[in-house]
A and B are shown apart, each in its own frame.
Chain A
Amino acid sequence: MKFDVVIIGGGLAGLTCGISLQRKGRRCAIVSAGQSALHFSSGYFDFLDRTADGKAVENPLDAVSALPEGHPYRKIGVEDLERYMGEVKPLFAGCGIELKGDWSRNCYRITPVGGVCPSWLCLGEFTPFTTAQAEVGRNVMVVNIPGYMDFNARFVAAGLEKRGAACRIVDVTVDELSGLRANPSEMRSSNIARLMDSGHVAVRFAEAVRMKLSGEDAVVLPAVFGLKDSSVPQKVAEIIGVRTEYVATMTPSVPGIRTQMRLRAAFERLGGTYILGDTVMPSEIRDGRVVCLSTVNFGNEKLYADAFVLAAGSFFSNGLAASRECVTEPVFGLDVHAADDRSKWGDMDFFKRQEYIGFGVKSDADFHAVKDGVSVSNLYVAGSVAGGYNPIAEGSGAGTAIMSAMSVAEHIISKIG
């Protein structure tokens, strides 16, 4: 099979790159092994939350110049970054994904445990809070769905109270959920959302919430609405009748799964080929180029392309692999940024910066992957498989994925036409 571009990895980076290329008329295939990091999303996209010394960033673009050389943002440069940032909301809107927030400024988000963190843009049901107070209301009713343990109403309420709100935690459920509760492991966000998607259940739930209101000016709900139908969160809010805030749950993330599904659908609508549940086999680089890929399912039927993009994610997604001795990139054996000494891979304190999170493939200024010290002319890296930055420490996971993917798409277009 012959494509213009074959992309390894169907997460935020791979899909953004594929959509950008398809929109310019390039024929792409994406090979995806399955879940992506979007499945444990906070519902917010980070761009650059913190400086190296841990201070919250207000204007992300201003903080880019202080990043180390080799950081994906430094490779792209402020000028192009600014252009891409402005394009993100329209790009996602074209895929049926509403993003809120001012792309030139960071916002704040409420965490699943009630804290407040800086962030950048957010999905439609959330609020891009402009201050760290993240004020929801004076008197807030926090909804607990009995038996659903991946949203802790008590933690969320305690956080709101610290920031000055008066909170009341109220149990709300509907009969339809008892089917889930009969099986002890089924009370998951995605299963609840699937039920809520059949409109009348969400309506009944929202009415039950409204019935329990006793003068509160705001309601907080777990973000378990709108797996396929993104209008559900808004409908629920309208029935409740007072300000309704959705707070992200522990994984899996309903808004994240929905986003991933919509990006994939948009890619396919644009003519892209999404190959799901397949894994790329170790492949050869010959004369500084990738000629083709083999996958587990296609066997001898090879995937040929002019350019290839490695957007396979980090360790969790098997884009990188670590043995007791070393860190490797399993498909091409590319050069990686990683400490040789295993004892330097992490910090003994879990909540300190972990170096291994920043490990990844080496790439040149145009995101060409590097093997044995030499750039591979038609292989690019995008997203967290790339090294040179620590997305958790700096809070830049979604931003680096989207920006590097957009940049790679432009490089490919300018190079292969």
Chain B
Amino acid sequence: MDNREFDVIVIGGGITGAGTARDCAMRGLKVLLVERMDIATGATGRNHGLLHSGARYAVTDMESAEECIRENMILRKIARHCVEETDGFFITLPEDDLGYQATFAAACNAAGIKAEIIDPGLARRIEPSVNPDLIGAVRVPDGAVDPFRLCAANVMDAKLHGAKVLVYSVVTRIMKEGDTVKGIEVLDTRSGQKSEYYAPITVNAGGIWGNAIAEMAGAHINMFPAKGSLLIFEHRVNNVVINRCRKPANADILVPGDTVSVLGTTSTKIPFEECDGVRVTADEVDLLISEGEKLAPALADTRILRAYAGVRPLVATDDDPSGRSISRGIVLLDHESRDGIRGFVSITGGKLMTYRLMGEWTADLVCKKLGVSQACRTAEVPLPGSEPVSMEKEPKKKIFAKAETGRHGGLASRIRHENELQNSLVCECENVTVGEIEYAEDNLDVNNLVDLRRRTRFGMGVCQGELCACRAAGLLKKAHRCSDEAMDDLKAFIEERWKGLYPVNWGAAMRENEYTQWVYSGMCGFGEYDTEPTE
């Protein structure tokens, strides 16, 4: 086989595609993973980062609840460095029906989710930020998961098992011979070059963009883009996930993650044209805050770091042509039996929590089609970085050592700190060093500053990359090759940062934004204020 031929092509570098690629690669298949942007840029990187216990679905969708709790327990084992075991509360407020609590707890326990009704006073002591007016609380095994890290770990393990990964590569054509998909044509958006790749099976794991990919192959999936907006608060307001004990609604989940807390979401159906570059509106921000402060009153006075929005891929069930009946669970479509298109499979629906199971089902189907009889091992084999780390091994106790271990788990030992430069801090909010940036660029497919942020948390702290962006722009390899490209990258980073800050531009955030304007628009003279030599 030459380097353009594979056993399976997976389209989509979100968590579903990454999990599918890892599973297929671990079963010995030759895998190509193709992503149009960076990994985890779609819904994967734009959600709560909630390690669902499944409790949220227990009353309405037992099957999803059971899947969630099984996967929850698996992720705690295989992705230790991506998971924080915080537990979660489902609280009942005076305006809610306390009667729902018993129904809820019973449904959880029936689904295998350990749900314990606790005294509201105890809940306040365990989680002091919770609304003190609560009249009921149920404790469940929710947690926090870092979706960027989880996705990166899956991609890395796929590569360790021989997979080839192409980022910034858009699928421009699905090549068919008669009714059979033979491969894809890909445009590398960085070089502008087109290439063809071939495989007997192509998997569409494109999230909401999978709708268009299916169309390219001649299949139709009835999908609906649903926008969900979220807010990130500047510090960990809570240490236990706080949910409302009622039917799922807007802004009813507050998740602590790393150094911040995340509140969400709203839910609005949007047209497909708006899926790229969704923005959070002022009304959504106001709604999130007014609902969020019912979970934790401190949110009303806590600085918001940024706002962001993702697009959930909702899928209508195949048996309902009206499209009103939405599939709640995982949707695996074999287009051969469904549409008569051979060599093409779509995996969609589902959730971040069930990505591994989605990968398993998909890899099972791919293996069956290829006549391969390897069993799935992704539930047992830990992801790279998940191995337990003893901090005592680090006698130097550099301030960044703990941050690096938190971000990269066992792989942090690969970060080189051989000289003072590699020890120099670039991002002082999140303790990111030159050494960690070098590691990320060499090992984690970092192409630009925004990618770097997703891999290292660089620029994610209170200053949102105000000064470290300029430092890091000069460090990335492209700065050595072409400073114009590096400068454009810096501007793109600042624009991306502003996209999240614009909807929450008041208070302390506005002070920071004004300062950033003075530095980049004023002092550096970027953008509108660029003055070309007139001579």
Give the B-binding residues of A (Cβ under 8 A). 37, 40-42, 49-50, 54, 56, 111-118, 131-133, 146-147, 149-150, 152, 154-155, 157-158, 163, 178, 181-182, 184-185, 187, 248, 250-251, 314-316, 318, 321-324, 342-343, 345-346, 348-354, 356-357, 391-393, 395, 397
Tell me whether B525 and A117 are in contact (CB under 8 A): yes
**What is the CA–CA distance of A42 and B245 in the complex, to the nearest angstrom?**
54
Chain A proximity of B150: nearest CB distance (Å): 28
B532 to chain A, nearest CB (A): 8
B519 with A353: CB separation less than 8 A: no
Contacts of B518 in A (CB 8 A): 37, 40, 316, 392, 397
State which of B424, B491, B520 has its C-beta within 8 Å of the C-beta of A187: B424
Q: Which of A42, A132, A163 contacts B522 (CB 8 A)?
A: A42
A118 touches B531 (CB 8 A): yes
| Contact residues in B for A184 (Cβ distance below 8 Å) | 398-400, 423-425, 433
Please tell me if the beta carbons of A40 and B515 are within 8 angstroms of each other in the complex. Answer: yes
Question: Known: A133-B535, A158-B484. Contact between A149 and B523, CB under 8 A?
Answer: no
Q: Smallest CB-CB separation from A46: which chain B residue?
A: B522
Residue on B nearest A109 in the bound complex, by CB: B525
- Would A115 and B524 count as touching, CB distance under 8 A? yes
Residues of A within 8 A of B531 (CB): 50, 56, 115-118, 132
Which chain A residue has the least Cβ–Cβ distance from B475? A149
B533: interface (CB < 8 Å): yes
Q: Is the CB of B474 closer than 8 A to any CB of chain A?
A: yes
CB of A115 within 8 A of CB of B522, answer no
**Which 3 residue pairs spanning A and B have beta carbons closest together?**
A351-B527, A158-B483, A350-B498
Interface size class of B (residues with CB under 8 A): 35 or more
Most chain A CB inside 10 Å of its own CB: which residue of B286, B398, B502, B506: B506
A113–B426 touching, CB < 8 Å: no
Q: Which residue of B lies closest to A182 (CB)?
A: B420
Q: Roughly how many angstroms separate A199 CA and B373 CA in the complex, as a whole number?
A: 76
Report which of A113, A178, A342 forms a contact with B524, defined as CB distance below 8 A: A113
| Residue in A114, A117, A152, A391 whose CB lies within 8 Å of B473 | A152
17 of the cross-chain contacts (CB-CB < 8 Å) are A37-B518, A112-B523, A116-B525, A133-B533, A149-B471, A181-B424, A250-B470, A314-B514, A316-B511, A321-B507, A322-B510, A342-B282, A346-B505, A350-B527, A351-B494, A392-B518, A393-B528
Shortest Cβ gap from A119 to chain B (Å): 10
A-contact bits for B495-512, CB 8 A (1 contact / 0 none): 101110010011100111
A64 to chain B, nearest CB (A): 19
Q: Does the CB pair A343–B519 fall under 8 Å? A: no
Shortest distance in angstroms between B398's beta carbon and chain A's nearest beta carbon?
A: 8
Interface residues of B in 407-425 (CB under 8 A from A): 420-421, 423-425
Of B511, B512, B523, B531, chain A has the most CB atoms within 10 Å of the CB of B523
A interface secondary structure, majority: loop
Whether B318 sits at the interface, judged by CB under 8 Å, is no
**Complex CA distance for A392 and B528, rounded to whole angstroms:** 10
B 270-291 contacts with A by CB, 8 A: 279, 282, 285-286, 289
Closest Cβ–Cβ distance, residue B437 to chain A (whole Å) = 11
For residue B504, which residue of chain A has the nearest CB? A324
Asked if B526 is an interface residue, CB under 8 A from chain A, the answer is yes
B487 touches A147 (CB 8 A): no
Which of A41, A116, A178 touches B533 (beta carbons < 8 Å)?
Answer: A116
Q: Does B85 contact A (CB under 8 A)?
A: no
Nearest residue (CB) in B for A152 is B474
B374 contacts A by Cβ under 8 Å: no
Is residue B467 within 8 Å, beta carbon to beta carbon, of the partner chain? yes
Q: Which residues of B contact A132 (CB under 8 A)?
A: 531-535
B486 at the interface (CB under 8 A from A): yes
Are B506 and A324 within 8 A (Cβ)? yes
Q: Are A42 and B523 in contact (CB-based, < 8 A)?
A: yes
Compute how far the CA of A264 lies from the CA of B526 in the bound complex, rounded to whole angstroms: 32
Would you call B486 and A155 a contact (CB within 8 A)? yes
B495 pairs with A350, CB closer than 8 A: yes
Contacts of A392 in B (CB 8 A): 517-518, 521-522, 529
Rounded to whole angstroms, the CA-CA distance of A395 and B533 in the bound complex is: 17
- Given A116-B531, A178-B420, the answer on whether A354 and B517 have CB atoms closer than 8 Å is yes
Q: Find the residue from A157, A178, A354, A393 having the highest chain B CB count within 10 A.
A: A354
Q: Is the CB of A315 within 8 A of B475?
A: no
**Residue on B with the closest CB to A55?**
B531
Given A318-B511, A324-B286, A357:B470 Cβ within 8 A: no
- Name the A residues within 8 Å of B330 (CB-CB): none
| Cα(A250)–Cα(B474), bound, Å | 13
Contact present for A111 and B400 (CB under 8 Å): no
Asked if A351 and B534 sit within 8 Å, CB to CB, the answer is no
Residues of B contacting A251 with CB < 8 Å? 467, 519, 523
Additional A-B contact list (18), CB under 8 Å, known A112-B524, A155-B479, A356-B510:
A41-B523, A113-B470, A113-B526, A116-B533, A131-B535, A132-B535, A150-B467, A181-B424, A184-B400, A184-B423, A316-B512, A318-B511, A324-B285, A348-B499, A350-B494, A356-B514, A357-B514, A397-B518
Q: Is the CB of B491 within 8 A of A351?
A: yes
Q: Which residue of A lies closest to B482 (CB)?
A: A158
A146 touches B421 (CB 8 A): yes
Query: Which residues of A lie under 8 Å from residue B530 when comparing CB positions?
Result: 115
Contact A351 B424 (CB under 8 A): no
Minimum Cβ distance to chain A for residue B36 (Å): 23
A178 neighbours in B (Cβ, 8 Å) = 420
Q: How far is the CA of A354 from the CA of B501 in the complex (A)?
A: 13
B residues in contact with A150, CB < 8 Å = 467, 470-471
